[in-house]
Amino acid sequence: MPELPEVEVTRLSLAGRVVGALIEAVAVGKPLRWPLGCAPQLLLGQQILAVRRRGKYLLLDLSGGLLLMHLGMSGSVSFALDLPEPGKHDHFDLVTSLGTLRLHDPRRFGAVVYASGQADAVAQKLLGQLGVEPLSDAFDARVFHQFLQGRKVAIKPLLLAGRAVVGVGNIYASEALFLAGIRPTTRASLISKPRAARLQGAIRDVLANAVALGGSTLRNFSSADGQAGHFQREAMVYDRAGLPCRVCAAPIKSIRQGQRSTFYCASCQKP
């Protein structure tokens, strides 16, 4: 599914092209995970002032409110002057004076939600419990270690929960834990301060590298200008079960944690 790097890549490929546009029409297709939350006509005539990201949410600041977009399990956003007629998996079109922004989502777990602003209860329900942004200065190694000390769950599911730090999804959690040399089954409370600092740095490095490489395209993700991501080609452990570790040549192992596949090297990653 699209994770933080894919959403950030989408934001970067969209912001410079859509900011300043006036909304001229809105087309809503099949129901998504959550309803739009307003009559589509309310959006007409509004101007897009900025495109931001919070966790895995794309935020479009409007002259009269806020649109929160989530790509769900299989979504992607495209933006162009001459998009073809919507297909069966195209569920939201925002027609603007600069082009059409379209949400394509085969599994329909994504959403587009309107709120009057980020302080609105609707927005806070979606954003209010998210952890710190991993690529911001607020992601502090000392605070991160303190958070881990009170948690007796395995570190990998804890990262996916998004309370300690937001947006570290399945692919990048496996990769960051490998880079930090930490076994994904290690209890969070047992991770020492130096190891927590290594993991904090690894999370930042892995996510920043993924953004630089355009994210990961495992099935159908592409940026708003149609570019596929390439991070998956450089993955050290993710989706490499049975293949030799790129560092020590031991076979990469795969286990299930919380219904998600986890990949790790038993030689390079210690409990």
- Residue in the structure block whose two tokens are 């937001």: 166
Is 125 one of the catalytic residues? no
DSSP string covering 176-238: HHHHHTB-TTSBGGG--HHHHHHHHHHHHHHHHHHHHTT---SSS---TTSPPP-GGGG-SST
Is 2 one of the catalytic residues? yes
Is 8 one of the catalytic residues? no
- Residue in the structure block whose two tokens are 């560092």: 247
Q: Which of 33, 163, 193, 260 is catalytic?
A: 260
Is 204 one of the catalytic residues? no
Q: Which of 3, 6, 8, 175 is catalytic?
A: 3
Q: Which of 2, 5, 134, 157 is catalytic?
A: 2
Alpha-carbon separation of residue 230 from 126, 144, 245 (angstroms): 29, 29, 19
Let me know how long the chain is.
271
Q: Which of 17, 56, 108, 198 is catalytic?
A: 56
Calculated CA dihedral for residues 43, 44, 49, 51, nearest 10 degrees: 50
What are the residue numbers of the active site?
2-3, 56, 260
